Amino acid sequence: MLASASRSMAGGLVSNFGTMTKPYHAGRAASGGIEAVRLAMRGMTAAPDALEHHAGFLNAISPGGRLDLERSAERLGTDLRILESGLSIKQYPICYATHRVIDGVLDIARRERLDAEEVDAVRAQVGRTQASMLRNHAPQTGLEAKFSLEFAVASSLVAREVGLAQLTDAFVGRPEIQRTMKKVTTTTVDTSCPVEPMFAFADRVQIKLRDGRTIDTGDIRFARGNAQLPLTVDELKRKFMDCVSGARDVDAQQTYRQLAELDSMSDVRTLTASHR
């Protein structure tokens, strides 16, 4: 286990998805960035061409040598990608590769008022890259469940929710969750999305019921929260409330109201008044 975690210190490994080391990736990157800035401020030096040198960073991470060293970097830091792509918000606190499927299953479960025991089988179609990230097919812990399409479907059917309250070892271990996960099969496609290149052009879910009916979502193009399908005001508030549900020192309602009016706030320090 120590060796597996230490290898991720050199760069995040997908093989560590669903473990404590996955969120450590982000923390380690942030820590490294802060450390580098502080060292530079104190006079630590490095090669000025460490990026583009033939034995530098770019060649190290591109063994095939597919580098663009000619294009000017004058616009670096001035052209913001977010202005082109728009703001996307991750609605569910598990791997984004599951989100289209979750939307599809939740829509059916709520519309048909389905009980998980009425479901005989679920077939989910996703892209190959998505499936490769969702490596945990029979998760036993909340961490493992974050990278499990089977859990995403089961939680959607059993709880009709996929939130922080469902990402506990106790919830994942519930008999009805474990039974429902076994009903899920995954198929993959090679098509790619021009907006989200790591994803299939569309995902799809078919739910077969014990009464013989099959309910098909059809193509699910974007997950709710994608810039192409923004969250509603109510959905955004629900997401925020879920995120702060464990923060006992925060007045969630007041903080949300203040953040919703941030563009007209004269002093952001007033946000601290939301803390008890």
Of the three residues 65, 82, 116, the one that is the final residue of a domain is 65
Joined tokens for residue 14:
């997908």
Q: Mean pLDDT of all residues in the chain? A: 90
Q: What percent of the chain has pLDDT over 70?
A: 95
Q: Does the pLDDT at position 275 exceed 80? A: no
pLDDT for the residue numbered 185: 97
Global pTM value: 0.83
Give yes or no: residues 40 and 144 share one domain: no
Q: What percent of the chain has pLDDT over 90?
A: 59
- Residue 101 maps to a domain: yes
Distance CA 224, CA 100 (A): 8
Give yes or no: residues 117 and 22 share one domain: no
pLDDT tens by residue, 234-264 = 999 999 999 998 888 888 888 898 888 888 8
State the average pLDDT over residues 200-212: 96
Q: Which amino acid is at 221?
A: R
Report residue 5's pLDDT band, with 50, 70 and 90 as the boundaries.
low
pLDDT for the residue numbered 64: 81
State the average pLDDT over residues 221-244: 94
Give yes or no: residues 100 and 209 share one domain: yes
pLDDT for the residue numbered 274: 52
The H or E element spanning position 186 is strand 184-189
pLDDT for the residue numbered 61: 84
pLDDT for the residue numbered 173: 97
The strand pair at 184-189 and 204-209 is best described as unpaired
pLDDT for the residue numbered 3: 59
Q: Which residues contact 140 (CB under 8 A, 6 or more apart)?
A: 169, 172, 173
3-state secondary structure of 75: coil
Give yes or no: residues 44 and 152 share one domain: no
Distance CA 102, CA 145 (A): 13
Give yes or no: residues 143 and 186 share one domain: yes
- Residue 193 maps to a domain: yes
- Residue 124 maps to a domain: yes
Q: Which residues contact 260 (CB under 8 A, 6 or more apart)?
A: none
pLDDT for the residue numbered 7: 65
- Residue 232 maps to a domain: no
Q: Does the pLDDT at position 74 exceed 60? A: yes
- Residue 228 maps to a domain: no
pLDDT tens by residue, 85-132 = 899 999 999 999 999 999 999 999 999 999 999 999 999 999 999 999
Give yes or no: residues 33 and 101 share one domain: no
Distance CA 236, CA 225 (A): 9
Among 69-78, 98-107, 167-176, where is mean pLDDT lowest?
A: 69-78
Of the three residues 173, 196, 216, the one that is the final residue of a domain is 216
Q: Whole domain around residue 100: which residue ranges?
A: 96-216
Give yes or no: residues 186 and 261 share one domain: no
Distance CA 214, CA 197 (A): 30
Give yes or no: residues 40 and 103 share one domain: no
Of the three residues 49, 65, 81, the one that is the final residue of a domain is 65
- Residue 13 maps to a domain: yes
- Residue 16 maps to a domain: yes
Residue 119's domain is classified under what CATH number? 3.30.1330.120
Q: Does the pLDDT at position 65 exceed 80? A: no
Domain count, the chain: 3
pLDDT for the residue numbered 181: 98
- Residue 223 maps to a domain: no
